[in-house]
Amino acid sequence: MVPLVSIIVPCYNHSRYLKECVKSVLLQTYNNWECLIVDDGSTDDTYNISKELQEIDNRIRYLNKENGGLSSARNFGIRQSRGTLILTLDADDMFQKTFLQKATTILEKNPLVGVVSCWGQRFYDSDYKLDVFKPKGGTIEDFLFENSAIGNSLFRKKCWEDAGGYDENMRQGYEDWEFYISVSKNGWKVEVINEVLFYYRQHKTSMRTVALNEYDTTIRNNIMTKHKDLYQDYFLETLHYYVQKGNNYRKDMLKHQNKLEYKIGSLILKPIRFIKSIFK
């Protein structure tokens, strides 16, 4: 029997992208799905757009809740889903039409795989395409210090249940990475399809960039505290990683300092060189 895939689309004030996002769902070559649009307390036109989309296809459902953040919206939708497989899709992003077909086939063939991800490409609203990012997936060792899968992936609902869902306290970012840690800790493997099947809309500011630039250290500390037992088991690997990270930071600072000193020196010497050139 073909498994039902529940596609969870959290939406917070992204109604202007919602039709394009859901269109990528409607175009999927895999047809046994339901799509749950979770309105996370939006103040824009999310309700009206969602109702329009419901009229197009009765597999689309609209859910409304008070604003609680991305993890809260995903958990809310998954709790009301009927599928044994879950696909998360943010309201401003899109999947290529063959993703579900290819990803469900992998899960059906390999019972040890709990999550299927893929390569992704960033793009601006103008459809200007940016870089391709190529996560590698893997096991818990591959997720200890960096995320190794895109945030929007297909996974077994059992993985979500065993992991305790998405951590709703992680409102500053990296909730996907922490979720994959929780999943892979339980022995599940994350497999990546080596094709660009996901399109990530790059905004001037986003949760990802804010988390990276402002909260990286805080979030990492929270993750390591939550999974203290895991990092104790991998103590030597953790020590090596952060020593190397510290050395790289020191080298970057020295390189920057040397460049700055060179520029200052050049500015000081510039008038002297000019005077010398006059008297040559």
Paired with 133 in beta bridges are 120
Distance CA 8, CA 6 (A): 6
Q: Which one is predicted more confidently, 106 or 261?
A: 106
Give the CA count within 13 Å in the CB-facing half-sphere of 261: 6
Q: Let me know whether 81 and 211 are in one domain.
A: yes
The pLDDT tens digits for 159-196 are 999 999 999 999 889 999 999 999 999 999 999 999 99
**Total of domains in the chain:** 2
- Phi/psi of residue 85, each to 5°? -120, 145
Task: Output 259 or 27, whichever has higher pLDDT.
Answer: 27
* 218 and 268 assigned to the same domain: no
84 and 188 belong to one structural domain: yes
Do both 23 and 136 map to the same domain? yes
Return the exposure string of 122-143: e unless at least 16 CB atoms fall within 10 Å of the residue's CB, then b.
Answer: ebeeeeeeeeeeebebbebebb
Structure confidence by residue, pLDDT tens digits, 219-275: 999 999 999 999 999 999 999 998 888 777 777 777 766 665 555 556 665 555 544
The answer to whether 37 and 9 are in contact (CB under 8 A) is yes
CATH code where residue 28 lies: 3.90.550.10
In tens, the pLDDT along 114-134 reads 999 999 999 987 666 788 999
Q: 3-class DSSP state for residue 187? A: coil
Whether 80 and 38 map to the same domain: the answer is: yes
Structural domain boundaries enclosing 247 = 235-280
244 shares a domain with 105 = no
Residues 67, 190, single domain; the answer is yes
Residue 227 sits in the same domain as residue 239: no
Q: What is the pLDDT of residues 81-105, one digit of tens each?
A: 999 999 999 999 999 999 999 999 9
Mean of pLDDT values over 31-43:
98
pTM: 0.85
Q: Would you list the DSSP string of 92-122?
A: T-EE-TTHHHHHHHHHHH-TTEEEEEEEEEE
Q: Are residues 192 and 69 in the same domain?
A: yes
Q: Provide, rounded to the nearest whole percent, the portion of the chain with pLDDT above 90.
A: 75
Same domain, 199 and 250: no
Mean pLDDT, to the nearest integer, of 27-50? Answer: 98
